[in-house]
Amino acid sequence: MPINAETKSRCLADEIRSHTAKVGVVGLGYVGLPLAVEFANVGFRVTGIDLQDSKVDQLNTGISYIQDVPTDTLRKHVESGHFRATSDLSVIAELDTVNIAVPTPLRKTKDPDMSFVVAAAEEVAKYLHPGMLIVLESTTYPGTTEELLLPMLEQGGLKVGKDFFLCFSPERVDPGNPHYQTRNIPKVVGGMTPACTEMGVLFYSQALDSVVPVSSTSVAEMVKLLENTFRMINIGLVNELAMMCERMGVNVWEVIDAAATKPFGFMPFYPGPGLGGHCIPIDPFYLSWKSKQAGVEARFIELAGQINGQMPRFVVDKIQTALNNHAKPLMGAHVHIAGVAYKRDIDDVRESPALDIILLLEQKGARVTYTDPYIPSLRLNGHLLSSIALEESAGVADCVVIVTDHKALDRRFLVDNAKLIVDTRNTMKAYNSSKIVRL
């Protein structure tokens, strides 16, 4: 006798509450692996799925490659059987819930590359069974879940909200943040139907501290884009302000610090050498692309993108001017980069402005070396660079450029030993020296 939809829903809900539901996560990167571990932490048996066999093999030995997932924690779950990794997608047939956390890059034309999401959804559709919860976490444009995933999942005859449940929940991971991680960052969830939202909220509330339901998948998709577009545009504003202040001879950092004393109506953002990471340089262009499909021009986004994209060149011009003021041409100069990760205290170089700065410097004839305790080597433009200890390079380089302000950076050593310092992060704020040139 076939089981009706209400019974399927009740069975899945009971399994989620009792932590007996079999949880799956497709994509074991900086979003998927921490999520998988949080569910293992509360007793679920989690299967992580990734097509890279090297990742799978490493995880199954209990060794983490994600900074925010301690190896000791992962090993405990592997040994207890609460976490396993596989590249065999057929295991989806055994799962009760599947979270899709795969990359969503931009093509060179700045339109979304949905190939990873489509490939994952095709596999889920192949093994979809009644009473299953599917959640897309990959950042994407509004309408993706409804327009792309739903038809693929319903093509076998199962109906959303009755036979299976489909939600979108935007990832909000901030790599390297010691205070806010997967467990305590509020989780937004929007379902294709009210029943889907209810199931998604129930699922996440088992492992995460706070869950925020919204009315639809499109709202949830737009939430993520608003968050990162807000940051991108405000960073673009202060970057443009930094360019203005340089021409006017005004200290932009002092301006921002003074403005930040206002207790209402102002939120400080800070200039820098350019945007980095997977989210802020990329996500707003999903919204821009989608808005164009709707006949609306996203002018703020496009303008902020142009300004932020100019910052590496602005930094190189700053370096060239600083060297020139010290009677040294950029061509043939030894420029040492302090920090190449895209943000402080992480081991990720995705979209890092340091990469563009190094390439621009090399194009102008500079000899470039770098120091980064998190990035031991870097392949760029066909050649391999290796991190060199600051003690070996700072004193001999013609200029040290602080691109990433890691906490481990010995600022006092730089002041005492470097010939010239270009500080793009205002990390040398405490030092008053003629050898320091600020952004």
Query: What is the reported pLDDT for 4?
Result: 63
User: What is the pLDDT, as a whole number, of residue 294?
Assistant: 82
What pTM was estimated for this model as a whole? 0.90
279 included as an active-site residue: yes
Query: Is residue 394 within 8 Å of 413, Cβ to Cβ?
Result: yes
Own/partner contacts of 356-361, CB < 8 Å, gap of 24 or more, are: 356/274, 356/312, 356/313, 357/273, 357/274, 357/312, 357/315, 357/316, 357/401, 357/403, 358/385, 360/312, 360/313, 360/316, 361/316, 361/319, 361/330, 361/335
Query: What is the pLDDT at residue 1?
Result: 40
> What's the confidence (pLDDT) of residue 383?
87
Decide: residue 405, CB within 10 A, 0-12 exposed, 13-18 middle, 19+ buried: buried
Enumerate domains of the chain plus CATH numbers.
Answer: 5-214 (3.40.50.720), 235-438 (3.40.50.720)
Digit-by-digit pLDDT tens for the chain (439 residues) are 455 666 777 899 999 999 999 999 999 999 999 999 999 999 999 999 999 999 999 999 999 999 999 999 999 999 999 999 999 999 999 999 999 999 988 877 777 889 999 999 999 999 999 999 999 999 998 999 999 999 999 999 999 999 999 999 999 988 888 899 999 999 999 999 999 999 999 999 999 999 999 999 999 999 999 999 999 999 999 999 999 999 999 999 999 999 999 999 999 999 999 988 777 777 788 888 888 888 888 888 889 889 999 999 999 999 999 999 999 999 999 999 999 999 999 999 988 999 999 999 999 999 999 999 999 999 998 889 999 999 999 999 999 999 999 999 999 999 999 999 999 999 999 999 999 999 8
Q: Tell me what pLDDT residue 290 has.
A: 81
Give me the catalytic one of 167, 196, 245, 279. Answer: 279
